[in-house]
């Protein structure tokens, strides 16, 4: 399934999420692109919008996500790997992976001071729409689930315009409810599914969220 833009995808997803209008609902965006989608949904169902900061760390030379480091400093392994695969990769690339974790955490910490970042109090006793602009695998969902694990949320709703079959399998395990507009066996780069790719950088995204919060209040 292809979309003209992330804004268009947001309008389509908002129709599926109409039941959460005026409910206690927070949209937890998992990327800059997801924020663009989330703006459309938030406006339609009158929900709070925020961003979970994390960054994927890949296995060198293989283009596979080894795991995700979140804003709370917790590293979550890609649940699609077996324990044996994780141990093998970690043994082989230990130095590289640890260096990448330090680099990523430094970058996240610099952004944390910019505001517009989710904290635990925002999610407690809320329906949480975990929103992605595309799910090639379940790694980002694992990161969100780990962040929310100590919290009591009413319902976890996973939403995305497009996802791989493997990501949908993980979503069924991690979420209470799924809204995926298109599922593909051969997932390409997320930008491939949008004609317009005008996603702002992290700083621009944070400014957008802060403006949204100010207008919401």
Question: Looking at the domain assignment, is residue 28 inside a domain?
Answer: yes
Take residue 169 and report the two structure tokens written for it.
């399998």
Does 119 share its domain with 195? Answer: yes
Instruction: Label residue 52 left, alpha or beta by phi (over 0 means left) and psi (-120 to 50 means alpha).
Output: beta
What residue numbers bound the domain in which 67 lies?
A: 55-112
Q: Where are the alpha helices (DSSP H) in 46-176?
A: 83-112, 120-123, 139-148, 165-174
Q: Would you give per-residue pLDDT tens digits along the chain (217 residues)?
A: 899 999 999 999 999 999 999 899 999 999 999 999 999 999 999 999 998 888 788 888 877 888 888 777 788 888 778 888 888 888 888 898 888 888 888 877 777 665 445 677 889 999 999 999 999 988 899 989 989 999 999 999 999 999 999 999 999 999 999 999 999 999 999 999 999 999 988 778 878 887 776 555 4
Task: Determine the Cα–Cα distance for residues 140 and 33; give it in Å rounded to an integer.
Answer: 13
pTM of this prediction exceeds 0.85: no
Number of domains in the chain: 2
Q: Name the token pair of 200.
A: 């702002």
Assess if residue 187 is contained within a domain.
yes
105 occurs within a structural domain: yes
What element of type H or E holds 42? Answer: helix 32-45
């Amino acid at each position: 399934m292809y979309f003209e833009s992330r804004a268009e995808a947001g309008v389509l997803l908002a129709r599926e999420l109409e039941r959460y209008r005026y409910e206690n609902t927070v949209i937890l965006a998992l990327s800059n692109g997801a924020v663009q989608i989330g703006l459309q949904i938030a406006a339609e169902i009158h929900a709070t919008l925020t961003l979970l900061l994390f960054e994927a760390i890949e296995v060198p030379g293989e283009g596979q996500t080894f795991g995700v480091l979140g804003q709370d400093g917790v590293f979550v392994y890609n649940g699609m790997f077996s324990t044996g695969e994780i141990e093998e990769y970690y043994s082989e690339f230990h130095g590289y992976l640890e260096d990448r974790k330090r680099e990523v955490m430094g970058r996240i910490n610099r952004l944390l001071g910019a505001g517009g970042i989710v904290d635990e109090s925002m999610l407690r006793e809320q329906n949480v729409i975990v929103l992605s602009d595309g799910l090639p695998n379940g790694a980002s969902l694992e990161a969100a689930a780990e962040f929310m694990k100590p919290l009591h949320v009413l319902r976890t709703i996973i939403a995305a315009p497009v996802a791989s079959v493997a990501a949908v399998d993980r979503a069924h395990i991690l979420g209470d409810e799924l809204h995926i507009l298109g599922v593909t066996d051969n997932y390409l780069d997320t930008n491939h599914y949008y004609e317009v790719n005008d996603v702002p950088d992290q700083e621009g995204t944070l400014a957008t969220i802060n403006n949204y919060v100010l207008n919401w209040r």
